[in-house]
Chains A and B, each alone.
Chain A
Amino acid sequence: MTTQDFINQRLAEEARLAQLQVQTRRHFLKESAMGLGALAMGSLLGGCGVPARRADSGLISFDPARPLLPKAPPFAGKARSVIYLHMAGAPSPLELFDYKPELAKMDGQDCPPSLLAGKQFAFIRGVPKMLGPQAKFAQHGESRAWVSEHLPHLSTVVDDICFLKAVKTDQFNHAPAQLLVHTGGSRLGRPSMGSWITYGLGTENQNLPGFVVLTSGGNFPDAGKSVWGSGFLPSVYQGVQCRSEGDPVLFIKDPDGMSRDLRKASIDAINKANQQSYDDYKDPEILSRISQYEMAYRMQIAAPEVMNINDEPDYIHEMYGTKPGRSCLANNVLLARKLVEKGVRYVQLFDWGWDAHGDHAGNSLNIGMINKYRSMDKCVTALLLDLKQRGLLEETLVVWGGEFGRTPMMENRNGATNPFKGRDHHTEAFTIWMAGGGIKKGYSYGETDEIGYYGVTGRVDAFDIQATILNQVGFDHETFTYPFQGRPFRLTDVGGRVIREVIA
């Protein structure tokens, strides 16, 4: 191409851009809840920035200088927020929700070869024994849902819950399986669901992060921070970890000896000097920085407030079974309610310690897991009741689950018999449940076979669940994409079906 051709090309491009400009500005203004005043502050840091969505499939406006502006979803979603409760390590459905009397009859027998042929397990070697359910079951509520004796509280709210009993995965190791559930890929490097949703919707409350992560159980989930990472999306969309010990949000606390007044004075000074820089450089980026410092100051007030559960009334503490000052699931569940109440879009909880192998007492079905059930049962039930009494359950989608299921066989690690009752990782079937956010109440979808090995009807996978969650917040999972590595990427990769059967 000659130089002149090249210039012609640029000019033609300019002309075309000018045409599109009017239309896009209208779109941008409509989407921006903060209106013109905020827009006037904005600018671009990185030149043309990251290309957002393809022109023909709508447009997610991305402004690197104000990346968290609230945006409307492509269609009206029923849920305004999502609380995802992940029991890291993968709880056993056979002890909680998936009642299998036939399995009890097989307890102690050798596993039939048909269940082992061509299968790969994480720890089972050779021929393991079958292991009957380590719980008594009963039906509850008008929906007659089966729940085990381990969940006496949750069994009282089953009429608000929709069970998915035949979820499957293709990953039998924790880190890849957790990555698949939350990022749509079993390897490192993809954005998490919360990042996608924050990218698409921005933040409703500018004084709080849009995507908050809370962990309990003493460890991070196996896949580490990658399960709330932003992958190839800008890092601003990664989950912000809020903590019940130390600073509730990293670096939110003023240094020792610096009063709030002094912090205010110093931010004012920074902003005054920055305004002088703006007068000199006329770079709108400086105005954006001024507003980020103002926002930081407001976040310093808002975040500790919302993270402080001490001011909640006694009956709430009683209801959740919280232990103020400690790091525990109950505290995090209560925090999750407070956060969605304040407009946080996506709250991701991880509770570590559900890996019921039975190679020691702490992770055995008959000892360690009993404690895990207790620590989860009361507070998660309280969350549903509390959201409901505040009128928030309809607009908050609550999801509960693990990363895979557990084998109906007893684990025989390295070919030996484990000393305690435990089950290996199992990909074929597990239970995830949802509540609120426009999902059917008192419903159960999908069934497993008589021993809980395979799903036989209503099988769904992580992509289907992601597609459904995105649908509930107002996105079509097939058109909600981001260009990376030369193609539009989406959370659900090339899979996913909205599970219409569970939508109210």
Chain B
Amino acid sequence: MIAQKKAWLVVAAMTAIAGSFAFFSHNDVVDFSAEVKPILNKNCLSCHGGVRAKGGFSLLFREEALANTESGKPAIIPGDPAHSEFIRRVSSDDPEVRMPYKHEPLPAEDIALLKRWVKQGAKWGDHWAYLPVKAQTVPAPALKNPDTGGRWGMNEIDAFIGEKLEANHLQPSKEADKATLLRRVSLDLIGVPPSAAQSAHFLENKDPKAYEQLVDSLLASERFGEKWTSMWLDLARYADTKGYESDQGRNVWAYRDWVIRAFNNNMPYDRFLTEQIAGDLLPNPTDAQLIATAFHRNAPNNDEGGTDNEEFRNAANLDRVNTTWEGLLGTTFACVQCHSHPYDPFRHEEYYRFLAYFDNNRDEDVSSEAPYLRQFNDSDRNSLFRLTEWVRQQAGAAEAGRVKTYLQTFQPAFNSSVADSLKNAAIINNNGSLAMFNDGWARFEKADLENADEGMIQFYCNQPGSVIELHLDSMSGPLFARVQVAHENKWKRQVFNFARQSGIHDVFLHYKSTAYRSVAGKDRSLLIFYDILSFQPSLPGNNTAGYAKAKSDYTRLLVTTNVNSIPVMMENPAAWQRDTYVWERGNRHLKGKGVTAGVPAILRFAQPANAPANRMGLAQWLTDKRNPLVSRTLVNRFWEQLFGNGIVETLEDMGTQGMAPTHQSLLDQLSYRFVNDYNWDMKRLLKEMVMSATYRQDARWHDGATEDAANKFYARGPRLRLSAEQIRDQALAASGLISDKMYGPGVMPYQPDGIWLSPYNGARWQQSKGEDQYRRAVYTYWKRTSPYPSSISFDGAQRNLCSARRIRTNTPLQALTTLNDSAYIDMSRHFAQRMTTEAGSDPVKQISRGYELLLYKPIPPKTLQVFQDLYRQSLTEFKAHPDKSTAFLPGNKPASPELAALSVVANAMMNLDEVITKN
């Protein structure tokens, strides 16, 4: 029986992919999306679609399908199947003529349907996910509540779920018992078991509103943000390193903290997205809004020696496009990089229009991570505030904004690796900096010198008497600045001034040393190198009151190294705007026509008329109430987090190749309400879901012939193995070790030796001290090329690319992790200690208490018996071998054999299926 279910499910997966829903409709009018499109997708589009258009015939868009083919005539003549080559070919008996070529002929009913479709005018229709979200008629099923005998259902969700249950002759389950519900909703909303106070309050509370009060208190908990951030970081491909060979650290934890705060503050989803996509383009952006844009600075960068920065600059932008679509829009777009989408209505050119939104950000794959926000300490932040106010009074808001941006980011600034026309110079340090030898030259293209009279260079110089001279437009052009460079053999930032310039110029930089003596055999010793060069107007307001103080603050803020530098998104200034082109066949070296930023035509209806053609315009489109994909994607994702599967199971793809929604009306109704009634309130959405009777059902199987194995109709509650993060956090909580410390740099809990061995990277896993060993999993340092092993065993995402969905597997390596990982052994010991503390010396009471601490309900007698037996056997062994108890309980001298035995039991209990599962 079970084997049958399994086979059935495999077929379900397969069939959904093939999209074969061709038989059902007996309506007269053919529905293109539901009936015709699946036939075309399955049989035609691999040769006559986005990738190929054999015979000059493509079925991707209506205008293509009706256009002349290579034969000079159209293959489809609307209203006239008899003269349509398309119909003739699929109906032919001649295998040389018949389509699909060299395949089985289409079933007669498919051919009949296609004929009918052409006869009716070959009308096109859009896939449901690309159509606007509309409010739905709420059904009124009449299911019996198995608990009360009354009508089943708590809210609208249950109406939609109930309708399908009824149609499939299924009955809902009774409500789960309080203890199970308490643990379920707590793990779901805050990722850890409830606090003692929360559980006591709920379990003893007889108020009919007790459950709602519990839900409200969980939603208000600071733990809430930590749980949902874990989910978001998979989409944001957040990691604490950059990836690839050297996989150097990336200082971007402030972004993770921003996400936690945003969830905890219940930031509306439209603002949540706007700040992450375009926070830098908001008026006078705050530090937090700049940090939010690190969402798209989580793309991997490559610092490996000899890599081409331009290649990886582009790779990061492709990743930003793909992440935006897969993570926020639930649509696979990556394939459009090389050709039009083979199945969905996206054209090749539209990929590059979308890429253009990202093509002018300042990230050039340099090892300094520029552009970055220099986050000042509190005192410097006050200075910056005072200084900015002072500049505003002297020179207006625009100038104040410029000075603030410059001090906080050094932008706009050249990355020295873009220098060209090099003479006695080379790009070194993994493409990070420009090295110059005596009498060296380098060109910087298109420096904006309008009103500029100040420059700044960040450099390292090992030669006395070093001078930099800057020439306009050519090596022999006018000398406009001469800088004596300090020789200190360390990194230094130096500000220099020159006569006020105007216009945009190429700057030729000439380096020489007056003290230079050539040494025989060492003709080219390194003299200077540096990574940043900028030109700007100096601080305004000279000769006015307060200038001296302002200037001193200005200089201090410029040179201070007491900052937390966080990579952020920023745009190129006007002089450095890049043109974006279509890449033929996805190859960046084959530039096709030029494109400007925009969204695909089929979704342009959701774009505000005045949306700018930059990331802010992109954000406005994403968060427009009419955007059909953003709300559906989020609702689907939240549903999946709670129920195990999305309403559309393929979270990453709601397109025609994704799986069909199980409850499309419910998805649309929730999406509609989320945007229009809840005003993008994420906690409100989650509350609606967990308040439903659907969610609150008991998870036991009905054990009948009608069992819905995948639970796609929700006749029982969700029962799912916990995520990697939940497993760790729960064990920490049960053992009493968990730290509630929030925020800050990634921590390094116990990890076996020898996990990190990256070449050209001295970084080592330094086990954290004190409570930092016991922080929640969301704070664990994440190294891309060597992720935390126990997290990966439990299907944690690698975080190299946007990961829209984790596939839960079940393997022996998972068992070994929770059985033997020293981190879990440590937690088992503390858990045993806690049982002793809370339940005294009677092992029966200790074991019972342990079970309650994990599952919030009394231990069943048979289970108690099992663990009593294990306890006895362990105790006998530890009493006979005191050395073993000492080894098992290091640090406890003399080790108590009782505690050792109880620790063995604690370890086993933490491995119970019920414990690592949400029941």
Contact = CB atoms under 8 A, between A and B. Distances in A.
Nearest to B303: A175
Interface in A222-281: 222-226, 229, 234-236, 238, 240, 243, 245-247, 249-259, 261-263, 265-267, 269-270, 272-274, 276-277, 280-281
B800 interface: yes
A46 interface: yes
A387 B326 CA distance: 47
B754 A25 contact: no
Q: How large is the interface on B (under 10, 10 to 19, 20 to 34, 35 or more residues)?
A: 35 or more
Interface stretch (B385-393, B620-628, B781-789): B781-789
B590 interface: no
Contacts of B912: 270, 273-274, 277
A432 to B, nearest CB: 21
A282 interface: yes
A63 B6 contact: yes
Contacts of A252: 816, 820
B163 A3 contact: yes
A40 B23 contact: no
A76 B785 CA distance: 35
Contacts of A43: 2, 5-6, 709
Contacts of B786: 220, 224-225
A75 interface: no
Contacts of B305: 122-123, 173
A8 B8 CA distance: 19
B143 interface: no
A61 B8 CA distance: 12
Most A-side CB within 10 Å, residue of B25, B341, B660, B870: B870
B809 A266 contact: no
Interface string B325-344: 01000011111000001111
Most B-side CB within 10 Å, residue of A173, A221, A253, A286: A173
B652 A485 contact: yes
Contacts of A13: 15, 20-21, 24, 660
Interface in B661-693: 664-665
B876 to A, nearest CB: 10
A368 interface: no
Most A-side CB within 10 Å, residue of B12, B128, B816, B822: B816
A147 B662 CA distance: 63
A482 to B, nearest CB: 11
Nearest to A290: B913
Interface stretch (A47-55, A447-455, A496-504): A47-55
Interface string B856-884: 00001011001101100110010001011
Interface in A262-319: 262-263, 265-267, 269-270, 272-274, 276-277, 280-286, 288-290, 292-293, 295-296, 299-300
Interface in B703-749: 703, 709-712, 719-721
B657 interface: yes
A189 interface: yes
Given A48-B16, A51-B13, A238-B792, A352 B811 contact: no
Contacts of A47: 9, 644-645, 649, 710-712
A49 B905 CA distance: 34
Given A6-B664, A45-B720, A224 B12 contact: no
Contacts of A223: 244-245, 785
B3 interface: yes
Contacts of B819: 251, 254, 263, 266-267, 296
B34 interface: yes
Interface string B634-663: 000000000011000100110101111000
A13 B315 CA distance: 41
Interface stretch (A15-23, A132-140, A333-341, A373-381): A15-23
A416 interface: yes
Interface in A116-145: 120-123, 125
A267 B815 CA distance: 10
Nearest to B424: A415
A299 B908 CA distance: 18
A254 B820 CA distance: 6
Contacts of A457: none
Interface in B310-334: 315, 322, 326, 331-334
A278 B812 CA distance: 19
Interface in A335-385: 352
A25 B3 contact: yes
Interface string A1-16: 1010111111111011
Contact of A352 (B665, B759, B796, B863): B759
A56 B907 CA distance: 48
A40 B908 contact: no
B809 A258 contact: no
A65 B163 CA distance: 31
A277 B180 CA distance: 14
Given A43-B709, A54-B17, A235 B785 contact: no
B811 A236 contact: yes
Contacts of A257: 883-889, 900
A173 B817 contact: no
B139 interface: yes
Most B-side CB within 10 Å, residue of A47, A67, A222: A47
B4 interface: yes
Contacts of A156: none
Most A-side CB within 10 Å, residue of B4, B7, B649, B789: B7
B588 interface: no
Contact of A299 (B27, B719, B812): B812
A16 B917 CA distance: 33
A218 interface: yes
B814 interface: yes
B784 A296 contact: no
Nearest to B872: A265
A197 B426 CA distance: 44
B822 A188 contact: no
B277 interface: no
Given A48-B13, A220-B759, A245 B754 contact: yes
Most A-side CB within 10 Å, residue of B245, B787, B862: B245
A109 interface: no
Contacts of B866: 269, 272-273, 276
B758 A224 contact: yes
Nearest to A265: B873
22 contacts: A1-B31, A3-B137, A9-B21, A44-B5, A46-B645, A50-B807, A56-B18, A56-B42, A59-B14, A68-B811, A123-B305, A173-B245, A188-B784, A189-B800, A251-B789, A251-B819, A257-B888, A257-B900, A259-B881, A282-B700, A293-B911, A416-B524
What 8 pairs across the A-B complex have the smallest Cβ distances? A224-B785, A122-B306, A257-B888, A486-B332, A257-B887, A12-B24, A25-B7, A296-B815
Interface of A: 1, 3, 5-13, 15-17, 20-21, 24-25, 28-29, 36, 39-40, 42-56, 59, 61-68, 120-123, 125, 172-176, 187-189, 209, 215, 218-226, 229, 234-236, 238, 240, 243, 245-247, 249-259, 261-263, 265-267, 269-270, 272-274, 276-277, 280-286, 288-290, 292-293, 295-296, 299-300, 352, 414-416, 425, 483, 485-487
Interface of B: 2-18, 20-25, 27, 31, 34, 42, 103, 128, 137, 139, 163-164, 167-168, 243-245, 247, 300, 302, 304-308, 315, 322, 326, 331-335, 341-344, 426, 428, 435, 524, 644-645, 649, 652-653, 655, 657-660, 664-665, 699-701, 703, 709-712, 719-721, 752-754, 757-759, 784-787, 789-790, 792, 795-796, 798, 800-801, 807-817, 819-822, 825, 860, 862-863, 866-867, 869-870, 873-874, 877, 881, 883-890, 900, 904-905, 907-908, 911-914, 917, 919
Given A48-B710, A51-B659, A175-B245, 18 more contacts: A16-B23, A46-B645, A55-B17, A63-B6, A173-B306, A219-B759, A225-B787, A240-B813, A246-B754, A255-B825, A257-B884, A262-B904, A265-B870, A269-B866, A280-B700, A282-B703, A485-B334, A486-B658
